[in-house]
Amino acid sequence: MSLKPWETVASGSVDPFRIFTVLRETARSPLTGRTHEFVILDAPDWIQVLPITPDGGVVFVRQYRHGTRDVTLEIPGGMVHRGETPERAATRELLEETGYAGRETRLLASMHPNPAIQRNRCHVAVALDARPVAPPRPDPGEEIAAEVLPLADVPGLIASGRLSHALVIAAFSFLWLDAEVSERWRDARP
């Protein structure tokens, strides 16, 4: 059976929030002709940055996340601002959250975080040869502590659950698929 996209027959904003808007849409199935109501979180694209230091460390951030009511271990990241490229957003977020900058920042991948309820994309960038260059300047409401851990420790951090953010774990999978990173830090692959 060949599946096709559904036709949207009605759309409207339910509630605008600071970081996303909740949309309600009605769509018609091309297979059955029946309609169904969907709820969508309309958000800007996101960026996740994998800052790799010259000696093969990863610059992580610890920060409080109210959704889980816990302090999490993550990589720097945030929203891509309107008119901003993912690479520029990666450079900005890395500097704001950690005070680090990379010699080279390049895009590794883009993915859909949750296509069932979201339209945005999460981009993954690598910042090679990341070094501290300025004091961090986190956004209001962010309390962030940066720390560098060996790239070789990442598989164990994932296996132990210390690194549990799904988009961060996905970002590392793209890092390990990257030919340059795999060649340079061969011993750090899972």
Mean pLDDT (whole number) for 63-89:
94
Of 111, 108, 121, 113, the residue nearest 51 (C-alpha): 108
Q: What is the mean pLDDT of residues 99-124?
A: 96
Prediction pTM value: 0.88
Q: Is residue 84 predicted with pLDDT exceeding 90?
A: yes
User: Among 14-28, 66-80, 85-99, 120-134, whose mean pLDDT is lowest?
Assistant: 14-28
Q: What are phi and psi of 48, to 5 degrees?
A: -120, 135
Topology classification of domain 46-185: Nucleoside Triphosphate Pyrophosphohydrolase (3.90.79)
Structure tokens at 74: 């993550």
Summarize the confidence of residues 177-187 as an average pLDDT.
73
Are 135 and 160 a contacting pair, CB within 8 Å? no
Alpha helices, H only, the chain: 86-98, 154-160, 166-177, 179-184
The percentage of the chain sitting over the pLDDT mark of 90, rounded to a whole number, equals 72
pLDDT in tens, 91-109: 999 999 999 999 999 999 9
Numbered ranges of CATH 3.90.79.10 in the chain? 46-185
Instruction: State yes or no: pLDDT of 188 exceeds 70.
Output: no
